[in-house]
Structure 1
Amino acid sequence: MGKALKSGVTIKGTKNGLHFLLDETRPFSTILNELKHKLEGSPNIWDGPETHVRIKLGNRQITREEETALRNLFSLRENLIIQSIEASNGKPYLLRNQGINVQAGTVRSGQVLDHRGDLLLLGDVNPGGTVRSTGSIFVLGALRGLGHAGGEGDESAIIAASNLRPTQLRIADVVSRPPDEWTKSEMSGMNFAYLVDGRIVVDKIHHLNRIRPEIEWKENRFRG
């Protein structure tokens, strides 16, 4: 008789909730099928109070579509609240080369532009306007309002703008220092903001490939 195959989904209880450990060596479709079976079966196991869930992918990174499928499965149990999705070694859990959404227009005061993934805005963000994304934000125009990138915890996300004069910047859970502390020399020309050592710093756009080499594809995508 053959040896029983080890489960691809391991669930561990902690004082802060549940950890779902997903086997990085199995096809992700197989993992999703097993997870669906666990969540749909034995309903009495999952009934109960609101429980925080941390999903651990190991060395695997997933696409936006795979993330959506994963979140949809957990929506079967309203009391299971996904607190985080994590890959090993602190790397982003999402594959970064999943395309970039392009939108055109002006985000005016009081308006909020929300997006899942990386966003390229062809226009301005006026004071009082907000642009938020789970990925990086690129503004070919003036960013004078609030920009929040990496909204679901992606600390590798950046915020770039032709004219970076925000009222506030946020990357993941980190909020920027007040803009009046940035000198004119720092902010002239096209710049980008990124997270390092728990704080947001600003640099010239031509340093992007050196600081964030993993997103070089974005620059190549828009070359003629």
Structure 2
Amino acid sequence: MNKRTQQNVMIKGTKDGLTLHLDDSCSFFELLKELETKLSANYQFQENDSLIAVKVHTGNRYLSADQKEKIKELIRKKKKLVVDDIHSNVVTLDEARQWKEENEITTVAKMVRSGQIIKVPGDLLLIGDVNPGGTVTAGGNIYVMGVLKGIAHAGFSGNEGAIIAASVMKPAHLRISDIVNRTPDGYTEDGHGMECAYIDENHQLVIGKLQVLKTHRPNLNRLEGRL
């Protein structure tokens, strides 16, 4: 095995397990061959050894589902190694489109009446009211520039960091990800100032003043200049 081949695979130990950095310029065959050689030479385990999590970084190499499975199978041959994640800098066109949709803000100017439903893959900015019986759903955050009296479901794809904000918060039903609460704990409507709903550190859906987001959701500042 020449010097160049020996650099196709770099293995680093971390406090969380092992990280494998795989070269993205060699052939996939060479990569698998060296990975198997290095794992066999450096890692011998006893039956009572603890499991070790393995993160795989493939750089600018795109891996097909079949190639990912071959890497996983090779690592799993070492009984105590468990693949935690395979990360690549490359995404497919479909994945890029999905990411774009999930990070876009859809602006709608209308009143959502009873029986009507608005659903978007990313964030929703609604300029209008949501009447009782009306529903707004978003894969990301929901911002209602009006009165929210109906149903709002943010983060429907599992995003527990999503929030629901409204100029006037009088919801019939709120949901963020899979957390549902018709009358959120600690909520006392006072009718003054914009309010927001979010999942707190206790995994409870709560409502507070918009200012609390500076502490609980600081990353929302990324929206500056986009609204």
Change (3 A) 1:219 1:180: same
Paired amino acid for 2:31: L
Q: Do the aligned residues in 2 keep the contact of 1:116 with 1:133 (CA within 8 Å)? A: yes
| Alignment partners' CA distance in 1, 2:146 and 2:164 | 12
The yes-or-no answer on 1:26 pairing with 2:26 is no
1:217 equivalent to 2:202? Answer: no
Aligned ranges for residues 79-90 of structure 1 at < 5 Å? none
Output the amino acid matched with 2:196.
F
2:160 to 155, 160, 164: 155
* Cα distance change on mapping 1:101 and 1:62 into 2, 3 Å: farther
Q: Distance in 2 between matches of 1:137 and 1:106?
A: 15
Q: Answer yes or no: is the 8 Å Cα contact 1:137–1:149 preserved in 2.
A: yes
Inter-CA distance 24–117: structure 2 relative to 1 (3 Å threshold): farther
Is the radius of gyration larger for structure 1 or structure 2?
Answer: 2
What is the TM-score when the length of structure 1 is the normalising length? 0.61
Gaps of 5+ in 1: 8-20, 40-55, 71-93
- Give the number of aligned pairs: 166
User: TM-score, normalized by length of structure 2?
Assistant: 0.60
Whether the aligned pair in 2 keeps the contact of 1:96 and 1:215 (CA below 8 Å) is no
Q: Deviations over 1:189-209 (max 9, x none)?
A: 200000022210111112222
Change (3 A) 1:117 1:174: same
Pairwise CA distance, 1:122: 0.9
The sequence identity of aligned pairs, in percent, is 39
Deviation per residue, 1:71-102 (Å, 9 max, x gap): xxxxxxxxxxxxxxxxxxxxxxx799933221
- 1:206 corresponds to: 211
Q: Which residue of 174, 181, 186 maps to 1:176?
A: 181
- Could you say which residue in structure 2 is the equivalent of 1:195? 199
For residue 111 of structure 2, give the secondary structure of its aligned residue in structure 1.
coil
Gaps of at least 5 residues in structure 2 are 7-29, 34-53, 70-83
What is the rounded CA distance, in whole Å, between the counterparts of 2:217 and 2:187 in structure 1? 21
- C-alpha spacing 1:140/1:178, structure 2 compared with 1 (3 Å): same
